Structure 1
Amino acid sequence: MAPLGHPDDPQRPYRVHITGFGPFRDVTLNPSWEAVRLLHDTTLFSEPLLDGVSSNDSPSLRRPSRPIHFSASFLPVTYSSVSLLAPALQNPPEPDLIIHVGVSSEDRSIRLEQRARKFGYDSTDAEGQMAELGEDGRRGFVGERWRECPEELRTRVEGGKVVRRLKEAGFEHISLSEDAGLYLCEYTFYTSLATALHRRRADCPTPVQFIHIPPEGKPYEIEEVTAALRLVVWTILNGA
């Protein structure tokens, strides 16, 4: 996998922005934000060395082509907040990679989502509101701002290689997914993918990845999820 970072200045660190969500429904403390906030304002200088992974089994001390600097932000689980905040993440100076993280109660694995859909958002958000309703009766991305956006968008990240790398590092419960759930997670994913297409050249948009994580301790603790996220980002940006 070729590195995805923008080659504008090889001397500066990669800029990675990562988001987590707030509470919703019966999730009073969202593990996505708990895992993500630990990364804020940290810098990664070499491939993460994970507990229990022998240096003989993993090229874990390789240095990236540049350091990787993380910033993190909190997203409320509401359509209005995501519609406002997610596009703003790509304002100058735009990141080289955007990672969104959300929790899934239906799976025990870390899932790298592969696609995001434009319509089908029929569930109420954390404030009881729904996505906009179009003239055709579908809820989702409505209006001139989104008119030219396709029905489905896919990430540029080569998820298969990321999954293989994390499995080598001992994360057995990790997979690709084609169904991000048609709720605020997928809504956020589509928002960022569509914004990237609009803001940059269509053939080289800012790479965006959505990652679902399981509830805390099922099977990974918060610190383990944070470690997995570091390795995901390192792998994406360095083509490992």
Structure 2
Amino acid sequence: MTSLGTVLHKPIQVSLTPGGFGPFGEHTTNASWVAVQELQKLGLGDEVNLHVYEIPVEYQKVLDLIPSLWKRHNPELFIHVGVSGMATTVTLEKCGHNQGYKGLDNCCYCPDTHCCIQGGPDCLESIVDMDVVCNKITGPQLDVVISVSKDAGRYLCDFTYYTSLHLSHGRSAFIHVPPLGKPYTAEQLGRALQTIIGVMLGMLEHSTVKMNCLLEH
């Protein structure tokens, strides 16, 4: 049996996908990509292996890429970052939805069924309690406002999140960022991602330790 200490010191695998590359509507720079670039500069600590991949705004590419990345890295947590033109806060999405995908992607395509996974539940939630994450970092730690949402938008962000939640049995998270300058800088968004992901990983590690202690007794 692997000892608890060995489990705790094993490198943590985290996969991260910023989505919607290129200009976003009237915005010339995509905030999700820029924020993730800033996060890569800051890092998540020596014990975390961060794997970053681009996800294009295409339904079929999501269905192909997400499973392959899960198989390749088997991450403790798969985090997706998207930009929302309506957002004014950094938003933690609680759940992904299976139905209602009628918007065309960058290839002018949408699923005929208008759903992610045929026969799947209407809604899937992350095992990460987003309300707890938000409460843990509300205060002077960051100069950004963080909020929680139950609706990721029924477009590629929501589609990606549901697909990932379905494959991971909930070991996924989605973070929406506002457009650059409305009101935050790239550096502020990068620090926000670093703090948020750190809290999420700490919560998962605590859950793993608790589970291992229960199994040992």
- Short-chain TM bin: 0.7 to 0.9
- How far the C-alpha of 1:9 sits from its partner, in A, is 3.0
* Residues 84 and 27 of structure 1: CA distance in aligned 2, closer, same or farther (over 3 Å): farther
Equivalent position amino acid for 1:159 in 2: M
From 98, 114, 121, the equivalent of 1:118 is 98
The aligned runs of 1:1-240 (5 Å cut-off) are 9-21=7-19, 22-23=21-22, 24-40=24-40, 43-45=43-45, 67-130=47-110, 132-134=111-113, 139-141=114-116, 146-168=117-139, 169-197=141-169, 205=170, 207-239=171-203
* Residues 10 and 41 of structure 1: CA distance in aligned 2, closer, same or farther (over 3 Å): farther
Q: Secondary structure at the match of 2:53?
A: strand
Decide which structure has greater helix share: 2
Over the aligned positions, Cα root-mean-square deviation in angstroms equals 2.3
Cα contact 2:143–2:188 (8 A) shared by 1? no
* Residues 154 and 14 of structure 1: CA distance in aligned 2, closer, same or farther (over 3 Å): same
Give the aligned partner of residue 213 of structure 2: none
Gaps of 5+ in 1: 1-6, 46-65, 198-204
CA shift digits 1:92-128 (9 cap, x unpaired): 4311111100000112011101111111011111222
* Residues 93 and 102 of structure 1: CA distance in aligned 2, closer, same or farther (over 3 Å): closer
* Residues 107 and 98 of structure 1: CA distance in aligned 2, closer, same or farther (over 3 Å): same
Corresponding residue pairs, total: 198
Give the aligned partner of residue 48 of structure 1: none
**In 2, distance between residues paired with 1:13 and 1:105?**
35
Q: Secondary structure at the match of 1:175?
A: strand
Give the aligned partner of residue 56 of structure 1: none
Cα contact 2:39–2:191 (8 A) shared by 1? no
**In 1, distance between residues paired with 2:123 and 2:177?**
22
**In 1, distance between residues paired with 2:164 and 2:73?**
16
Cα contact 1:42–1:70 (8 A) shared by 2? no
Equivalent position amino acid for 1:133 in 2: D
> Between the two proteins, what is the percent identity of the paired residues?
32
- How far the C-alpha of 1:194 sits from its partner, in A, is 0.8
Cα contact 2:31–2:180 (8 A) shared by 1? yes
Give the aligned partner of residue 209 of structure 2: none
